[in-house]
Amino acid sequence: MAFSPQKLLDVLQTLPVPEQYWVAFSGGMDSTVLLHGLAMIRPELPAPLMAIHINHGLQVKALEWEMFCRETCARLDIPLTNLQLNLRPASGESLEAQARDARYAAIAARMNPQDMLLTAHHGDDQVETFLLQLLRGAGISGLASMPLIRDWQTGWLARPLLEYSREALLDWARKEELQWQDDPSNERLNIRRNYLRHKVIPLLKDQWPGLINTTARSARHCAEAANLMREVGTADMALVWDEGKPWQMMISGLEVLSLQRQKNLLRYWIRHQGLPVPGHRVIERILSEVMQAQQAGSPLLSWNSAEIRRYRGRLYLMPTLPEPPSEEVRLHWDGSRPLKLPEGLGRLLVRTGMDWLSEGVDVVFRSESLKCRPGKGKSNRSFKGLCQELSIPPWLRQRLPLIYRNDELIAVADYCMCQPETGKSPFIWERPEWLQ
């Protein structure tokens, strides 16, 4: 299908009306076509048009590309924002992935609510993405590839060129005598996407000329199936959800589902909580090892900065926990302002009217040989026994702020007071939801 600015406008008119359009402008052929096409229809756009360029600092000609983008936008009278990145990938980390994540994070920081980011991904990019996901063994969410539009940050991310091939965009660019910058890294065949682009996809197009359209159709089918699975996941959450505890799942509700729906629900839950969804092997281990663990056990399974545990008939999902605070930590506190706790454990506050606290207390994390009598008429409890009585999971016990006055334990976080103190704990432990 031939490209034209009018057809671009037709696509944009099917999308929500933003407060502002932002064009991701790299200076390459694809984004140059998008920018010029938008410039030609600017009087008919329902919102102002801006461009944004990211200098990744990875190419020798990065400053030359930046200057090209400045000159192009000045000529088109389109306001341009230039951002500079300082990428330092860790050992084993993909530079391409880090650059992509950093680029989107930088752009998001500049956008306002209800803004729309427009990228120049086209039909050939869609084919590459679909094949990459297929060869990685992705599920239907991965095979859905890139949608025309999706919610992003507090606005939208749209790809209005997905219906067009690279050849169609190149034809229009040449017809309009446009100038652009070529990225030499696109020729490196050790990058898998480039290998598909230069070695595999041309052969596929020879045999299947309609490759872009048929791949797009398959991606749409996968997207519909993925949406259906999300709907099923939403409905199934009602069986396992404990109101106010989104990081916990009741195993009794999970067990009534078929194996396929159990797997789907775990993926849905993990994705909904903003953690990386693990591969099928980890999902199977959650079901076989964590769910089926002995009641007295406290199994742990970790993956990609996330982990899942079991305690008393529940699964507990959380980001990877840092090490517990050292037993040597001792924080003196007079309650006049919130006390920041170490290792991301939040902070301690105190309710009003606690004048005695001005004398100061000490907050520690050492529980060895600790005893507490949690109320009148109750006997001393060992720390382990007290935690069991209060249903405090094992991984939280080493992270509990223990409050001492004159070297005497008076409170276990905000769970209970210890004799001689009585009544409701005056302390409030504000902490991440996954530590509730």
Residues at the annotated binding site for ATP?
A: 26-31
d(CA 281, CA 265): 15
How many other CB atoms are there within 10 angstroms of residue 351's CB atom?
13
The conformation of residue 341, written as its DSSP 8-state character, comes to P
Beta bridge partners of 372: 381
Confirm if 163 and 121 have CB atoms less than 8 A apart. Answer: no
Q: Which SS3 state, helix, strand or coil, does residue 367 take?
A: coil
d(CA 255, CA 257): 5
How many Cα atoms within 13 Å fall on the side-chain side of residue 87?
Answer: 24
Confirm if 22 and 118 have CB atoms less than 8 A apart. Answer: yes
Q: Which SS3 state, helix, strand or coil, does residue 391 take?
A: coil
Percent helix, percent strand, percent coil in the chain, to nearest 5 = 40, 20, 40
Bind-site residues: 26-31
Tokens at residue 171, please?
A: 């034809």
HEC profile of 209-223: CCHHHHHHHHHHHHH
d(CA 24, CA 51): 6
Q: Which SS3 state, helix, strand or coil, does residue 249 take?
A: strand
